[in-house]
Structure 1
């Protein structure tokens, strides 16, 4: 979380108030700041670019429609717009009746420069991706919000409608579970080579 986040949140809350009063410049400033955040959030969850762009447009239509309903005491504008985006994605998935895979949290591990190093890195990444895919959807979403979207525990709490300490505990529990699965897999692999 950036040290400037509280300042950004206060500025955006004031922009919402001014935009509700008809200040077009305040709304443009909100849009310029929030569009990349929403587009990245949606783009990491919707694979087809045209569908992602359509969803982003719908998110901002809902944002405009419900702008007067924003309440500062319920969280930041940032978390609020991401909650709108999350709900739009869920609605889209329900309408299509298909599964929407969350992007893997793991980034491509840097290779050692040689083929063996690249193969080992790819194998480790694939193993992590497999373990993440085996997690419940709620746990995968928490990891995606925390590490792919870079949200703080408080911002995730605002998106999901939970308490920040509950989010922190769930993320920590999920990471411990992943670490345990990876260690168990490594020990099993080592035992196979000893035989």
Structure 2
């Protein structure tokens, strides 16, 4: 039985039974994941905070409907977060390209970004921008959100093996394109080797 192995599923069951401490523990464990996921996909910090609150409101509302046989708690909550982000952009007056919402790889600003905002970073972003939306989405979920292959598969309705292969191919392709771009920009270095 999945509940016995998944402490989050056990906490959901306890919270549904009325255990407030179980829900508090569930919230504390899931909040950083949801906050990171949402923040990478919206424009402002205020919007992100509102959406995280909305996600957990929806979680409370649908807590009794969680079915551990259909997947993990993390993937279930991230589906709720993903839908909240999509709903957020649907209600905006200014249209936003869906790939910006979905991929989570848009540029952010912060101290770390300023430190690494060199030519190499620009090149990687350029290469990523040329990738198909689904590839950017997979890479964002794996490396940006830190999701496991199984969680990505569950979230997107794919098999785990398909997710592993697609991510592996995408990373290999990015490496090849990055090396080709370096060779193109620095022909004297590549010929000296």
Query: Partner of 1:162 in structure 2?
Result: 158
Q: Which structure 2 residues correspond to residues 14-33 of structure 1 after superposition, within 5 A? A: 14-33=10-29
Q: 2:3–2:68: 8 Å Cα contact kept in structure 1?
A: no
Query: Partner of 1:181 in structure 2?
Result: 177
TM-score (norm 1): 0.81
Q: 1:9–1:76: 8 Å Cα contact kept in structure 2?
A: no
Gaps of 5+ in 1: 1-5, 112-117
Show structure 1 runs of 4+ deviating over 6 A: 6-9
> C-alpha separation between the residues in 2 aligned to 1:155 and 1:42?
16
* Residue aligned with 1:66, SS: helix
Q: Which structure 2 residues correspond to residues 41-52 of structure 1 after superposition, within 5 A? A: 41-52=37-48
For residues 101-123 of structure 1, the C-alpha deviation after alignment (integer angstroms, 9 at most, x for no partner) is 52359xx69x8xxxxxx8xx811
Instruction: Please tell me whether residue 134 in structure 1 is matched to residue 130 in structure 2.
Output: yes
Q: Which structure 2 residues correspond to residues 3-82 of structure 1 after superposition, within 5 A? A: 10-82=6-78
**Which has the larger displacement, 126-135 or 185-194?**
185-194
Query: Partner of 2:96 in structure 1?
Result: 98
Gaps of 5+ in 2: none
The structure-2 alpha-carbon separation of the partners of 1:155 and 1:26, relative to structure 1 and needing over 3 Å to count, comes to same
- How many positions carry a matched residue from both structures? 180
For residues 111-163 of structure 1, the C-alpha deviation after alignment (integer angstroms, 9 at most, x for no partner) is 8xxxxxx8xx8111110011112212211111111111111101111222221
> C-alpha separation between the residues in 2 aligned to 1:148 and 1:167?
15
The structure-2 alpha-carbon separation of the partners of 1:23 and 1:16, relative to structure 1 and needing over 3 Å to count, comes to same
Structure 1 position 59, deviation (Å): 0.7
TM-score (norm 2): 0.82
Match of 2:121 among 111, 120, 125: 125
Structure 1 position 39, deviation (Å): 0.7
> C-alpha separation between the residues in 2 aligned to 1:75 and 1:95?
29
